[in-house]
Amino acid sequence: MNLHAGDISIKIDKRYLNFPISGQTERKQMTFSVKGLPDLTVNIRLASGSADYWVFRDVSELKGKTLTIRYNGEDAALKQIYQSDEIAGQDSLYREQNRPQFHYTTRRGWVNDPNGLVYYDGEYHLFYQHNPYEREWENMHWGHAVSRDLVHWQELPVVLCPDEHGTIFSGSAVIDYENTSSFGSKKNPPMVAIYTYSHPDGQTQGIAYSLDKGRTFTKYEKNPVINSTRKWNSHDTRDPKVFWYDPNKEWVMVLNERNGHSIYTSENLKEWTYRSHVTGFWECPELFELPVDGDPNNTKWVMYGASGTYMLGQFDGRTFTPEAGKYYYTKGSIYAAQTYNNIPEADGRRIQLGWGRISHQGMPFNGMYLLPTELKLKTTKDGVRLISMPVKETEQLFHQVEKWSDLTADDANRKLEAFSQSDCLRLRTTLKLTYATDAGLSLFGQRIIEYDMNGTQLNGVFYSPQDPTSMELTADIYIDRTSIEVFIDGGVYSYSMDRRTDRNGNEGFRFWGNQIEVKSLEVFTVDSIWK
Ligand code: FRU
């Protein structure tokens, strides 16, 4: 880049650059240049006066180098950027008032879809759609966090930044044990990320590899590896989910293209052949095999898109053949959930992580990840269906402090009085209705459970229990500072929502409905994952 008046140059000797952000300022282009490296351009609302909040860029890899910043907004704003070994607000990090306490959130900025979920060498990787420069969607990068137990997460530096092919949209990651891509060796197999480039000319698919356990990635110099925009006459060709299909000894990609999910295959992750297409899905494809009721000789394949509505069917490595229409198993704030690749065979679980479309009032970050869940196929009264329950690793966070049975609603409400101001809480309860009308549980007027037996609806969505004449409903309820997740009757249905922040009034928890019985009620305290 040629220098202009107003550009600033900083010799990097600290870990972070801190940027002041104002929601009132228009987004303007900022370009970072370092000699010998590609430029990075982002759109940012840099504050020239006082900031609403601060964001940062981790520049530790640039130590000793000179970084030039060009901004086509106000010069006064540029002057507020400073480098430091701490991010602005470091002293209250993870202790901010509306920071979720048992869900992963990023330190600063916006997050949406989980990407590249892969287990490798003792670590669960969570890459994700991330705007490091604002708490709204823009400038898609891949952020990164790792965990050894799916519960405690450590945020690591961003791994993929926008480049001349576009911003980095959703995708997946695999471990290439056979080194089919020749990016590594069999001794040090590459972790390969397969993702979408979003560009005004259309969306294409790119790949990048890591030889250091996902800490840094090198983009493939011949990107993009798929460009199907013209074929589909569509800008919407995105979100590759790749996995190894052992019977054919090849890679399979499920890619959303315009009106559904396509299947591609490859021997080396670089050259892909189109195979088939299933209509009726939008964004963020998934495809995986699960045993029915745990029987490995009786399996079905599950295909879903970003909404989580799924089809069951069979897959032969080239074509997915649905056996019926779509079903749902979860609703609410969840979107774009993805499942882990490379879970060891001895474990064998299908572990899912979903984006929670939840905001945190007044916070310099936005969005979160819901509790990781294990997906299973179970024979239900309606046939085989997907069920979802929090993974067993989450149990370490919850400690049972009360357990009652056979209470009247009034008794239960009195017993819960002590907990209504709790920051975080888990409740497990079985309600028994004595009228086929509606009943439920609310917290400061917010309906956590609203079960309308007459309309056969649970929080507005059709739900009928396994025993068709049952008057009972069991709910496992996870309440964090800004979110509520509810798992019904062992996970046959689940939903999530924002937690309302107004905690006034004297109502607290309230079981309501015509003469209902609270057959059981358990209360658990919750540990924070941020130590
Ligand atoms: C889904 C989605 C994806 C896309 C990404 C962009 O939420 O729209 O289809 O890759 O988000 O951030």
Task: Say if residues 517 and 406 touch (Cβ distance below 8 Å).
Answer: yes
Let me know: does 21 contact 88? Beta carbons within 8 Å: no
Indicate whether 1 belongs to any domain: no
| Cα separation, 454 vs 262, whole angstroms | 41
371 and 414 assigned to the same domain: no
- Whether residue 58 sits in one domain with residue 24: yes
Q: Of 111, 157, 107, nearest to 353 (Cα)?
A: 111
Q: Is 283 in the pocket of ligand 1 (CB under 6 A)?
A: yes
Q: Which of 438, 443, 422 is nearest to 509 (CA)?
A: 443
Centre of ligand 1 from the C-alpha of residue 37, in Å: 28
Q: Strand 8-11 vs strand 123-131: parallel, antiparallel, or unpaired?
A: unpaired
Distance in Å, CA 107 to ligand 1 centroid: 21
- 2 domain residue, yes or no: no
In Å, how far are 128, 220, 463 from 144, measured between CA atoms? 6, 19, 37
Q: In this structure, is residue 531 part of a structural domain?
A: no
Residue 522 structure tokens: 């358990």
- Strands, E, within 348-417: which ranges? 350-356, 365-366, 368-369, 373-380, 383-390, 398-408
> Percent of the chain at pLDDT above 90?
96
Query: Do 385 and 412 reside in the same domain of the chain?
Result: no
Give the number of other Cβ atoms within 10 Å of residue 480's Cβ: 25
172 and 197 in a single domain? The answer is: yes
Q: Is the peptide bond before 224 cis (omega within 30 degrees of 0)?
A: yes
Cross-strand partners of 485: 478, 496
- Same-domain status, 190 and 232: yes
Whole-angstrom CA distances from 442 to 426, 449, 453, 491, 519 are 14, 7, 17, 20, 17
| Strand ordering across the sheet containing 66-71 | 8-11, 66-71, 28-34, 40-44
Residue 502 lies in a domain: yes
Q: Quickly count: other Cβ atoms within 10 Å of residue 148's Cβ.
A: 12
CB 196 within 8 A of CB 225: no
Look up residue 128 and give its two tokens: 């994700």
Torsion sign (Cα): 32, 216, 334, 260 = positive
| Atom in ligand 1 nearest the alpha carbon of residue 140 | 12
Q: Do 12 and 113 belong together in one domain?
A: no
Tell me the β-bridge partners of 428: 476, 522
The two beta strands, 320-322 and 310-315, are: antiparallel
Give one word for 201, left, alpha or beta, with left for phi > 0 and alpha for psi -120 to 50. alpha
The amino acid occupying position 510 is R
Report which ligand 1 atom has the smallest distance to the Cα of 129.
12
pLDDT value of position 395: 98
In a domain, 449, yes or no: yes
CATH number at residue 446: 2.60.120.560
Distance (Å, rounded) from C-alpha 365 to C-alpha 342?
30
Contact at 8 Å (CB) between 130 and 140? Answer: yes
* Domain end residue (candidates: 36, 67, 91): 91
Q: What are the tens digits of pLDDT across the range 346-360? A: 999 999 999 999 999
Residue 3: predicted pLDDT: 64
Query: Could you give the C-alpha distances from 342 to 172, 213, 263, 384, 518, in angstroms and in order?
Result: 12, 13, 20, 25, 42
Read out DSSP for 167-208? Answer: EEEEEEEEE-TT-TTSSS-SSSPPEEEEEEEEETTEEEEEEE
Judge whether 113 counts as a catalytic residue: yes
> Does one domain contain both 116 and 265?
yes
Is residue 155 a part of any domain in this protein?
A: yes
Residue 385 and residue 400 in one domain? no
Q: Which residue among 141, 255, 283 has the greatest number of ligand 1 atoms within 8 angstroms of its CB, and so is best to mutate?
A: 283
Q: Ligand 1 in contact with 111 (CB < 6 A)?
A: no
- pTM score above 0.95: yes
Among 58, 91, 124, residue at a domain's last position = 91
Residues 235, 358, single domain; the answer is: yes
Q: What is the CATH number of the domain that holds 386?
A: 2.115.10.20
- Confidence at residue 291, expressed as pLDDT on a 0 to 100 scale: 98
Q: Which ligand 1 atom sits nearest the alpha carbon of residue 113?
A: 7
Pocket test for ligand 1, best of 127, 167, 239 (most atoms within 8 A of CB): 239
Coil/strand/helix, residue 489? helix
Q: Is the CB of 284 under 6 A from ligand 1?
A: yes
Query: Quick one: tokens of 277?
Result: 């297409």
Query: How far is the centre of ligand 1, averaged over its atoms, from the C-alpha of 114 (Å)?
Result: 10
- Single out the catalytic residue among 113, 438, 476, 489: 113
Query: Following CA atoms 456, 459, 462, 464 in sequence, which dihedral angle do they give, to the nearest 10 degrees?
Result: -50
Domain interval for residue 492: 394-526
List, for residues 219-270, the tens digit of each pLDDT value: 999 999 999 999 999 999 999 999 999 999 999 999 999 999 999 999 999 9
Instruction: Look at the chain and report how many structural domains it folds into.
Output: 3
111 shares a domain with 59 = no
Q: Tokens in use for 90?
A: 């470091």
CB distance 174 to ligand 1 below 6 Å: no
Is residue 132 located within the same domain as residue 198?
A: yes
Atom of ligand 1 lying closest to residue 171 CA: 10
Residue 104 within a domain: yes
pLDDT of residue 503: 81
Alpha carbon 372 to its chain centroid, in Å, reads 9
Tell me which residue has its CA closest to atom 9 in ligand 1: 283
Both 79 and 150 in one domain: the answer is no
Q: Which of 127, 129, 136, 254 has the most ligand 1 atoms within 8 A of CB, as the residue to mutate?
A: 129
The verdict on residue 41 lying in a domain is yes
Query: Does the beta carbon of 255 lie inside 6 Å of ligand 1?
Result: no
| Ligand 1 pocket residue status of 141, Cβ below 6 Å | no
Residues of the chain with pLDDT under 50: none
Ligand 1 mean position, distance from CA 110 (Å): 13
Q: Which of 390, 418, 438 is the last residue of a domain?
A: 390
